[in-house]
Amino acid sequence: MRVGVLEPGGVNTELGSHNRPDVRDQLIDPFYDQTEVLAPEDIADGVVYMVTRPRHTAVGELWIMPTDQV
């Protein structure tokens, strides 16, 4: 059995809108203004990479981050 964890950085999804307005104003919106976030397709590419390795290979952990995320 193979198990892997994919850990994405900032991704362009609706999840930020699920926070309280003060959190969005102070944390979420400034982050999106300063960072060229990933597209959902970038994360999907990572999943495809992990699951298409040869059977004798396991990618245990994969971080996918925007290059300018701090």
The pLDDT tens digits of the residues spanning 10-47 come to 999 998 889 999 999 999 999 999 999 999 999 999 99
Confidence of residue 1 (pLDDT cuts 50, 70, 90): confident
pLDDT of residue 55: 93
pLDDT at 60 over 80: yes
Beta-carbon neighbour count of residue 42 at 10 Å? 16
Q: pTM to 2 decimals? A: 0.83
Q: Token digits for 16?
A: 């930020």
How do the domains of the chain map onto residue ranges? Answer: 5-64
- 3-state class percentages of the chain: helix first, strand second, coil last, to nearest 5: 45, 15, 45
pLDDT of residue 70: 73
Rg of the chain taking only CA atoms, in angstroms: 15
